Structure 1
Amino acid sequence: MTLTAHTTVAPAAFSLPPTPLLDASGLAVLRFALLPGTRADRLRRTGLAASDVVGAVDRACCLLGASTLAQAGALTALHRLLTAEQIGLAAPVPATLTARRRQALALMVGGLSTEWIADRLGIHEASAIGLCRETARALGVTTAAHAGYAAVTTGAVPLSAIRPHLPALTTPVHHDARRASVSSSPLAPSAPASRPPAATDTTRAARAEVLLTDGHGRVLITAGSGPGDSQLPGGPLMPHETPPAAARRHAETATALTLLTPGRLLAVDWAPGTGPTYTYDHPPLTAAQTATLTADHTRRGTPRLLTPADLITRAPADAQRVLAVLRARVEGRTAELEHGRPRTPGALDTHRVLPRTATAPEPWTPVGRRHDGPATSVAAWLTLTCGLVVVHHDPATGRTRLPGGPLTPGDTDALEHALARICAATVGVRPRGAVLIGHSGTEARLVATVPRLGPLIAGPCEPTVVRLLTTPEQAVELCENSITPAELRDALETARIATGLLRQPVTPVPTNGMTW
Structure 2
Amino acid sequence: MTLVPPDDTTRAGTAMTDAEYGASRSTLWTGASALITDTSGRVLVQRVDYRDVHLLPGGAVDAHESPSRAAAREALEELGVTAHYTRGLAVDWIPSNTPGYPAETRFPGEILFVYDGGTWNAEQIAAVRLPDREILAIDFAEPARLPDIMEPGDARRTLSALRARINGTTTLLEDGRPLDPTPLDRHRVLATARKPQHWSWHSATVPSGLPLQQSWGWLFAPDGRVLVLIGTDTGSACLPGGTVDPGDHGGPSATLRRETAEEANARIGEQLLHLGYLYDDNAAQQPGPCARVRMAGRLAGFGPWRPAPATGHTYARLLATPEQVCELFDWGPEGDHQVAAVHAAREQLGLPRPTRQSVTELPRRGGIL
Question: TM class, shorter-chain normalised?
Answer: 0.7 to 0.9
1:448 to 278, 289, 297: 297
> Kindly tell me: are residues 484 and 299 of structure 1, through their superposed partners in 2, closer, same or farther at Cα, counting changes over 3 Å?
closer
Residues 375 and 412 in structure 1, CA contact (< 8 A), matched pair in contact too: no
TM-score (norm: length of structure 2): 0.78
Residues 275 and 295 in structure 2, CA contact (< 8 A), matched pair in contact too: yes
Q: What residue in structure 1 maps to residue 343 of structure 2?
A: 492
Structure 2 residue 367 is the aligned partner of structure 1 residue 514: yes
Gaps of 5+ in 2: 1-10, 12-18, 96-107, 280-290
Which stretch shows the higher mean deviation, 398-407 or 233-242?
A: 233-242
Residues 213 and 219 in structure 1, CA contact (< 8 A), matched pair in contact too: yes
Query: Where in structure 2 are the equivalents of 1:361-372 lying within 5 Å?
Result: 361-367=198-204, 370=207
1:231 to 39, 43, 55: 55
Residue-pair matches, total: 322
Q: What residue in structure 2 maps to residue 406 of structure 1?
A: 243
In 2, distance between residues paired with 1:233 and 1:321? Answer: 13
Higher-strand-fraction structure: 2
SS in 2 for 1:270: strand
In 2, distance between residues paired with 1:463 and 1:410? Answer: 22
Aligned-residue identity in percent: 31
Residues 164 and 171 in structure 2, CA contact (< 8 A), matched pair in contact too: yes
Residues 223 and 230 in structure 1, CA contact (< 8 A), matched pair in contact too: yes
In 2, distance between residues paired with 1:333 and 1:408? Answer: 41
Query: Where in structure 2 are the equivalents of 1:244-283 lying within 5 Å?
Result: 244-256=68-80, 258-272=81-95, 273-283=108-118
- 1:249, distance to aligned residue in structure 2 (A): 0.5
> Kindly tell me: are residues 331 and 216 of structure 1, through their superposed partners in 2, closer, same or farther at Cα, counting changes over 3 Å?
same
> Kindly tell me: are residues 359 and 418 of structure 1, through their superposed partners in 2, closer, same or farther at Cα, counting changes over 3 Å?
closer
Structure 2 residue 121 is the aligned partner of structure 1 residue 286: yes
- 1:507, distance to aligned residue in structure 2 (A): 1.0
Structure 2 residue 331 is the aligned partner of structure 1 residue 472: no
SS in 1 for 2:137: coil
TM-score (norm: length of structure 1): 0.57
In structure 1, what residue type is equivalent to 2:296? Answer: V
> Kindly tell me: are residues 321 and 373 of structure 1, through their superposed partners in 2, closer, same or farther at Cα, counting changes over 3 Å?
same
- 1:476, distance to aligned residue in structure 2 (A): 0.9
SS in 1 for 2:323: helix
In structure 1, what residue type is equivalent to 2:94? Answer: A
In structure 2, what residue type is equivalent to 1:451? Answer: A
Q: What residue in structure 2 maps to residue 503 of structure 1?
A: 356
Report 1 or 2 for greater relative contact order, CA contacts < 8 Å, sequence distance ≥ 6.
2
Superposed CA offset, 1:207-265 (max 9, x none): 11111112222211124696324321111222332221110101221112x22232411
> Kindly tell me: are residues 358 and 216 of structure 1, through their superposed partners in 2, closer, same or farther at Cα, counting changes over 3 Å?
farther
In 2, distance between residues paired with 1:194 and 1:471? Answer: 49
Superposed CA offset, 1:346-381 (max 9, x none): 111110001886946211111358575031110000
> Kindly tell me: are residues 474 and 465 of structure 1, through their superposed partners in 2, closer, same or farther at Cα, counting changes over 3 Å?
same
> Kindly tell me: are residues 275 and 312 of structure 1, through their superposed partners in 2, closer, same or farther at Cα, counting changes over 3 Å?
closer
In 2, distance between residues paired with 1:409 and 1:471? Answer: 33
Query: Where in structure 2 are the equivalents of 1:331-350 lying within 5 Å?
Result: 331-350=167-186
Q: What residue in structure 1 maps to residue 103 of structure 2?
A: none
- 1:283, distance to aligned residue in structure 2 (A): 2.3
> Kindly tell me: are residues 223 and 455 of structure 1, through their superposed partners in 2, closer, same or farther at Cα, counting changes over 3 Å?
same
Higher CA-based Rg: 1
Higher-helix-fraction structure: 1
Residues 401 and 481 in structure 1, CA contact (< 8 A), matched pair in contact too: no
In structure 1, what residue type is equivalent to 2:183? Answer: A
In structure 2, what residue type is equivalent to 1:439? Answer: Y
In 2, distance between residues paired with 1:301 and 1:312? Answer: 20
In 1, distance between residues paired with 2:312 and 2:151? Answer: 30
